[in-house]
Amino acid sequence: MSEIYTVILAAGKSTRYKGKQSKLLENLAGLPIITHVFNLAKKISGKNVIIVCNTDNISEFKKTINGCKFIIQKKQKGTADAILSAKPYLKNKDFLILFGDAPLVTLNNLKKLIQKFKLYQSAGTMLAFNTDNPFGYGRLKKINNKVLKVVEEINTNAEEKKITLCNSGIMIVKSKTFFQNLKMIKINNKKNERYLPDIFEIYYNQNNPFNYFICSEEEMLGINTIEDFVKADKIFQNNIIKKFLNKGVLIINPESSRFSFDTNIEKGVIIESNVVIQKGVKISKGCVIKSFSYLEGVNIKENCSIGPNARIRPKSFISKYVKIGNYVEIKNSSIGDSSSIAHLSYIGDTVIGKKVNIGAGTITCNYDGKNKHKTIINDGAFIGSNTSLIAPIKINKNSTIAAGSVVNKDIPPKNLAIERSKLKIIKKN
């Protein structure tokens, strides 16, 4: 679909959003809201995506988004003006209009919108939705399934308030006729702005009306307030959960857990309650992720047990049949087949081989105050409880480290290492 351009309107000031930052930069399941919309647009238009932004948010957008054209709407003169600012870059191509604060619309329905637009060779096709509570939405008035006009809430009469078919704002249009008609939109006297929905009546009066495609109300949720964000987040999480349940993933108490947009979980995995899964996590079949575990940036292979209360940080790899127990933290490490780190340990910047046992309270001392260093623990090694391994260090195959040891040099294969100070017993006065 690369012949279709996409324009994302993202120049609003987010005045109703009382959060710490712009609503479009708020993290929704691992990505800023604007990035969700951009990734969707990219699947439609490839490199032909234009984002209309403002002077305040453009620098932040550029930090997270690559491969598109950024246009600044210098003055807030309404959505019609925002589209007009993108005209020089559209090359008279048909284009799709999306909104930076509406991340829930699906690729499937956008494709259907485009198909209908092409099938009927219309001047434009819009997305509409039905709702039980249309208050606040622009009502869509139609004649013979053609769009007559959109009436904003403030301008509705008693009969129009009863209309449940509403305007989403999302549409696809023919570039040439669109910009001709865009100039005909009158300026709103109160705000000195020109509103994009006013264009539908212009088209109808030219006997060239828009048609429409209906999608769900959920998809059309625009995020204007913190309350809207919470609703969108819940919908997004529910959609992810539904996908996994249908796939054969057992999620205990799904409302208590969170997942990322890119979470990859295979059939047969069990997710217990209160699990948080951030970006970059893949979990293979047969695994159990126990309650209160927190995972990010990790690839977990088949038949592993993780948690409860485990934390696995980015750039980690867990091989088959591994046990990561309660209050264990893993960071930038790989764990070999059938190894066990059962409880209360920190493993950082470490390579652990096969069938290694890490006793409770083991610490890899990977940071010297300036640099990170590597710990290597080879196959079959046994690390006793409350051991400190001061990196860089290598524990070779089938070696044993006695409990309570502080180890600061390499241990040869099949050796026992013990480091303890002499126990002193002093009589109390």
Catalytic, out of 10, 343, 358, 377: 343
Strand bridging mode 31-32 / 27-28: antiparallel
Residue 329 contacts residue 346 (beta carbons within 8 Å): yes
User: Is 105 contained in some domain?
Assistant: yes
User: Is 423 contained in some domain?
Assistant: no
Domain of 305: which CATH number? 2.160.10.10
Strand order in the sheet with 276-277: 276-277, 294-295, 311-312, 329-331, 346-348, 363-365, 388-390, 406-407
Angle at which helices 33-45 and 107-120 cross, to 10°: 40
- Reading the block at residue 229, the tokens are 């964000």
Decide: helix, strand or coil at residue 182: helix
Residue 43 class from Cβ within 10 Å (0-12 exposed, 13-18 middle, 19+ buried)? middle
Decide: helix, strand or coil at residue 64: helix
Residue 14 class from Cβ within 10 Å (0-12 exposed, 13-18 middle, 19+ buried)? buried
DSSP character string of 21-39: S-GGGSEETTEEHHHHHHH
pTM (predicted TM-score): 0.90
User: Is 37 contained in some domain?
Assistant: yes
124 closest CA partner among 150, 89, 161 = 150
Domain of 154: which CATH number? 3.90.550.10
Are both 193 and 311 inside the same structural domain? Answer: no
Are both 163 and 255 inside the same structural domain? Answer: no
User: Is 426 contained in some domain?
Assistant: no
User: Is 122 contained in some domain?
Assistant: yes
Are both 247 and 390 inside the same structural domain? Answer: yes
Question: Position 316: which residue type?
Answer: S
Q: Would you put residue 86 in left (φ > 0), alpha (ψ -120 to 50) or beta?
A: alpha
Q: Please list, residue by residue across 379-413, b when 16 or more beta carbons sit within 10 angstroms of its beta carbon and e when fewer do.
A: bbbbbbbbbbbbbbbbbbeebbbbbbbebeeebee
- Reading the block at residue 110, the tokens are 């956008």
User: Is 31 contained in some domain?
Assistant: yes
CA 300 vs. chain centroid, Å, equals 20
Q: Which of 185, 220, 255 is the last residue of a domain?
A: 220
Residue 129 class from Cβ within 10 Å (0-12 exposed, 13-18 middle, 19+ buried)? buried
Are both 374 and 348 inside the same structural domain? Answer: yes
Are both 195 and 246 inside the same structural domain? Answer: no
Are both 389 and 254 inside the same structural domain? Answer: yes
Taking only the tens of pLDDT, the chain with its 429 residues reads 448 999 999 998 878 888 888 899 999 999 999 999 999 999 999 999 999 999 989 999 999 999 999 999 987 778 888 999 999 999 889 999 999 999 999 999 999 999 999 998 889 999 999 999 999 899 999 999 899 999 999 899 999 999 999 999 999 999 989 999 998 988 875 667 788 999 999 999 999 999 999 999 999 999 999 999 999 999 999 999 999 999 999 999 999 999 999 999 999 999 999 999 999 999 999 999 999 999 999 999 999 999 999 999 999 999 999 999 999 999 999 999 999 999 999 999 999 999 999 999 999 999 999 999 999 999 999 999 999 999 999 999 999 999 999 999 999 999 999 998 888 889 987
Q: Is 373 a catalytic residue?
A: no
Are both 194 and 289 inside the same structural domain? Answer: no
User: Is 365 contained in some domain?
Assistant: yes
User: Is 381 contained in some domain?
Assistant: yes
Cis peptide before 392 (omega within 30 of 0): yes
Residue 158: phi, psi to the nearest 5?
A: -60, -40
Are both 379 and 238 inside the same structural domain? Answer: yes
Q: What are the start-end ranges of the E strands in 18-108?
A: 27-28, 31-32, 49-53, 69-72, 95-99
Q: Which of 195, 220, 245 is the last residue of a domain?
A: 220
Are both 94 and 134 inside the same structural domain? Answer: yes
Q: Which of 153, 186, 220 is the last residue of a domain?
A: 220
Are both 344 and 198 inside the same structural domain? Answer: no
The rounded distance, in Å, linking the Cα atoms of 122 and 143 is 15
Total number of domains in the chain? 2
Strand bridging mode 165-173 / 124-130: antiparallel
Are both 153 and 296 inside the same structural domain? Answer: no
Domain of 323 in residue numbering reads as 226-417
Are both 98 and 170 inside the same structural domain? Answer: yes
Instruction: Give me the residues paired with residue 250 across strands.
Output: 270
Q: For residue 60, give every residue at least 6 positions away whose Cβ sits within 8 Å of its Cβ, in sequence order, or none.
A: 22, 25
Residue 133 class from Cβ within 10 Å (0-12 exposed, 13-18 middle, 19+ buried)? exposed
